[in-house]
Amino acid sequence: MSRQSDHPRVALPPPLLFVGSFTIGLLVQWLHPISLLRFPLALCLGIALFTAGAWLGIWGERTMKKAGTNVNPLRPATALVTSGPFRFSRNPLYLAMVLLYLGLALAVNSLWPLVLLIPLLVVLHYGVILREERYLESKFGDAYRDYRAAVRRWL
């Protein structure tokens, strides 16, 4: 694999997908406000989900860095990471981003970011995750196929 093509060719960087979707959701909320829950409950649930997402994201990022591989999907993977949160999910960083997104949506008590989460997850699946899986399989072969067979994509 040439150095120039040694990455999964994701459609968009995942953080950009999440930030863009959430920003559009907030704009729609501003134009047509719809709350989800009573404020104190929404805020408490939002903080809990956001905290869980932040913790999982930090754990996943540290595990990848400790393994000596790139966190950024626009850069080459140098190791197949199967430890830390990757023992339970093949995509703990994306799971963390979903938890952060849900936590923020609840904290601001807005329906629209949640509505946009559905198309966001479709784009994430087809434009990022499947491309990463093809890339990892081509790069790591049987080791990745064994890992994929043993660990679920999300949970």
The pLDDT tens digits for 77-129 are: 999 999 999 999 999 999 999 999 999 999 999 999 999 999 999 999 999 99
The total number of residues shown for the chain amounts to: 155
Please answer whether residues 2 and 9 qualify as being in contact, where contact means their C-beta atoms are separated by less than 8 angstroms: no
Q: What is the pTM of this model?
A: 0.93
Is the pLDDT confidence value at 2 over 50?
A: no
Share of the chain above pLDDT 90, in %: 86
Smallest CA-to-CA distance from 93 within 60, 116, 127 is with 60
Per-residue confidence (pLDDT) for residue 4, from 0 to 100: 53
The pair of three-digit structure tokens given for residue 105, joined into one six-digit string: 């949506």
Find the domain containing 126 and state its range.
55-91+111-150
* 122 falls within a domain: yes
* 68 falls within a domain: yes
Q: How high does pLDDT run on average in the chain?
A: 94
* 121 falls within a domain: yes
Token pair 């950024």 is found at: 72
How many independent structural domains does the chain possess?
1
* 135 falls within a domain: yes
* 78 falls within a domain: yes
* 134 falls within a domain: yes
pLDDT classification of 31: cutoffs 50, 70, 90: very high
* 87 falls within a domain: yes
* 131 falls within a domain: yes
